[in-house]
Amino acid sequence: MNLLVAGGAGYVGSAVARRLSTSGHRVVVVDDLSAGHAEAVDGIRGIRLLRADLAAPGLDRALAAAGPVEAVLHFAGKIAVGESFADPEGYRRANVTGSEALLAWARAAGVRRFVFSSSAGVYGTPEKVPVPESAPLRPVSPYGETKVAVEERLAGAAKEWGLGAVALRYFNASGATDGGRHGEDHRPETHLIPRLLAAAASGSAVPIYGTDGPTPDGTCVRDYVHIEDLVEAHVRALDAVRPGEVRAFNVGAGSGASVREVIAAAERVTGRTVRTKDEPPRRGDPPSLVADISLAARELAWKPTRGLEEILASAWSWHRGRPGGYSGRRG
């Protein structure tokens, strides 16, 4: 198929773009490179990179070079919960306005198949954990609100012009792909696992945000899903899109690990001690977020196959191979 991958130079988008191109699809990546890295897709057969900001005027012109497109996978957007409190308008522009522009383009281009990167952030602080897709959407951050807004736009597009879409609600995407050749490189890095590994390598201390919450050891519980499993979920989602329907699926490991448990696992995998520093909870961080993944198992025939140790081992091999991340220094 001819595929447009928006945000395809980012951590998850590029992993999916690489996989789809390996399976023989023709992939056009559109990315403004504000957070993505051209190196994540450079020189890969079957992938072409167009540089464009979805929310800027003139998207039609920028995407004219894409040629005919049969399906869109949309990863583009800002992803840091904390930053979204400081810049809610920037988050709305990048995530909602950008998605609206991409949908308008897709409609005009005759695209009827769409896969969207949503987030566990749509649930806010769920009443029930593991959280099923049917739980109320009550985001507790501007970031989470933008993901709900885009899911609503997809529902509108399904109704108005017959778009078929799957929204994948990611839990904590982590780990590296391609034997550690590609991995997570956010600047600044806010995510736990890359921070832990950088600290293991350098001897610096990692903050633990919240140590007396309502969880077994007082630290936040999250559901860490290996990026390769997440990639596989996109392949299944693309096949599962049904015209005129929007379906949402949780994509997680289906089990949780506390911050302290992740630290212990990182120490085992790296053979190093990780220094920590107790800090107050981070704004917008629910105490516990774990996915109920039974719907994806049933309807997408998808199941995660890799655990926390594999996540950490692959991320460690990426970190050691590229301590500065893609070209230049990590933030």
- Active-site residues, by number, are 143
> Using CB under 6 A, which of 18, 222, 236, 322 touches ligand UFG?
222
| Residue whose C-beta lies closest to ligand UFG | 220
Q: Which is nearer to ligand UFG, 21 or 31 (CB)?
A: 31
* Binding window for ligand UFG (CB under 6 A); candidates: 5-13, 32-40, 114-122, 316-324: 114-122
CB count in 10 Å sphere of residue 49: 21
> Using CB under 6 A, which of 10, 121, 126, 256 touches ligand UFG?
121
Angstrom distance (rounded) from CA 169 to CA 143:
13
Q: Is 119 in the site for ligand UFG (CB under 6 A)?
A: yes
Q: Is 91 in the site for ligand UFG (CB under 6 A)?
A: no
Closest CA to 96 of 138, 140, 136, 153: 153
Q: Is 282 in the site for ligand UFG (CB under 6 A)?
A: yes
Q: Is 192 in the site for ligand UFG (CB under 6 A)?
A: yes
Q: Is 206 in the site for ligand UFG (CB under 6 A)?
A: yes
Q: Is 11 in the site for ligand UFG (CB under 6 A)?
A: no
x/- map, 48-67, ligand UFG, by CB under 6 A: --------------------
CB 87 within 8 A of CB 48: no
Residues counted in the chain: 331
Binding site for ligand UFG (CB under 6 A): 79, 81, 119-121, 143, 172, 190-192, 195, 206-209, 220, 222, 259, 282, 285, 289
